[in-house]
């Protein structure tokens, strides 16, 4: 296995013997190859420190478009790691050609003080572009059996407070919990990705979005628990060209968004809006459009009394209004294709234009 390493040397000047310079592994270049920082890429050795060193140089670069290259044909094992901005340049590329793998066993995870609840986190970065055809492998099987409750499991890939984000041409598999988490982000595009976890893996949502705006998700295959889950504080979400299944389809928590030309194949649910018992706020101005259902179990659901665990607080509920289902066609394996559970405070302005058989 080829191993390259960084070199630090002293450059002495006769007139000023104390003066020295640190030479980085990619000095003079905007490309930063992770193997030049000592990463082994054998899938077993902890390469986290090499990534942290490389990220420091990438984020500190002042010329060109700094690019962190993760080469093809190698698997880099990472402990939970934080890639934090802001960076000096407004456009940063992560060229993931190889594979990033989490520790295989739950007990092998080592949590640093600056990151909790996630495996790989990008925070406070403007103009981040992640692509390259490579894979994020969360190795979550042991997490699913050891911790049935999702609250005790980490997400795989997190984006926090990022602007002008682009995620494309990547593969995501076997996250302990949700594969991709978008929180407090704006102006993000996610396209041409593949998310895959075994059918029945609990709460391994494909993409979870919260407190974010202007998010585009398109042209992707998502095979996970909830295909896409939209949570509180979210607005202006456009989802198009998505193939979901098996899994729960697209689940909505609140605020305005639109789905177009999506395929739900063998999903437990199709287009679903779920709001917690005893919740507050609203889910409104939502359009599901041009959706093809192939053997969905519950094609259309509005559930104003959703509960993952038992609650006894039914006095309040999230107000659901302005929901349009347009040009939705296909098949349901159950006779009851539409379920509108709006018993708490009622749902208003619901428009159905569909053909399900």
User: Which residues are CB-contacts of 56 (< 8 A; sequence separation ≥ 6)?
Assistant: none
* Contact predicate 288/261, CB 8 Å: no
For residue 45, what are the CA distances in angstroms to 42, 69, 70, 74, 349? 6, 18, 15, 12, 57
6 φ, ψ (degrees, to nearest 5):
-75, 155
Structure tokens at 122: 């990008």
Q: Write 23-31 long-range contacts (CB < 8 A, 24+).
A: 24/57, 25/57, 26/57, 30/61, 30/63, 30/64, 30/65, 30/66, 30/67, 31/67, 31/69
Residues marked as catalytic: 225, 248
E strand segments, 169-318? 171-173, 180-183, 186-191, 194-196, 207-210, 213-223, 228-230, 235-244, 250-252, 257-265, 269-276, 282-296, 298-306
């Amino acid at each position: 296995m080829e191993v390259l390493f960084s070199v630090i040397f002293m450059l002495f000047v006769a007139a000023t013997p104390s003066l020295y310079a640190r030479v980085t592994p990619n000095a003079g270049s905007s490309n930063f190859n992770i193997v030049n920082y000592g990463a082994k890429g054998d899938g077993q050795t902890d390469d986290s420190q090499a990534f942290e060193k490389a990220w420091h140089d990438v984020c500190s670069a002042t010329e060109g478009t700094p690019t962190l290259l993760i080469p093809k044909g190698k698997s880099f094992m990472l402990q939970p790691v934080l890639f934090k901005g802001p960076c000096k340049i407004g456009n940063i590329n992560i060229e993931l050609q190889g594979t990033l793998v989490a520790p295989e066993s739950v007990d092998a995870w080592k949590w640093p003080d600056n990151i909790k609840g996630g495996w790989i986190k990008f925070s406070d970065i403007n103009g981040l572009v992640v692509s390259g055809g490579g894979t994020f492998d969360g190795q979550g099987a042991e997490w699913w059996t050891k911790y049935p409750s999702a609250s005790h499991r980490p997400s795989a890939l997190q984006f926090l407070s990022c602007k002008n984000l682009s995620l494309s041409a990547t593969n995501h598999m076997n996250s302990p919990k949700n594969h991709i988490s978008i929180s407090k982000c704006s102006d993000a595009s996610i396209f041409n990705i593949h998310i895959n976890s075994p059918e029945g893996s609990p709460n391994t949502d494909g993409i979870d979005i919260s407190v974010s705006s202007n998010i585009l998700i398109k042209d992707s295959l998502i095979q996970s628990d909830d295909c896409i889950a939209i949570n509180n504080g979210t607005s202006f979400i456009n989802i198009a060209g998505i193939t979901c299944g098996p899994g729960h389809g697209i689940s909505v928590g609140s605020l305005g968004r639109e789905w177009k030309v999506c395929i739900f194949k063998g999903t437990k649910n199709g287009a679903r809006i779920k709001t917690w018992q005893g919740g507050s706020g609203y889910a409104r101005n939502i359009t599901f459009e041009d959706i093809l259902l192939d053997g969905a179990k519950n094609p259309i659901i509005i559930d104003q009394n959703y509960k993952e665990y038992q609650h006894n607080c039914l006095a309040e509920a999230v107000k659901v209004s302005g929901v349009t289902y347009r040009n939705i066609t296909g098949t349901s394996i159950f006779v009851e294709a539409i379920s509108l559970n709006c018993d708490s405070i009622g749902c208003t302005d619901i428009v159905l234009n569909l053909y399900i058989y």
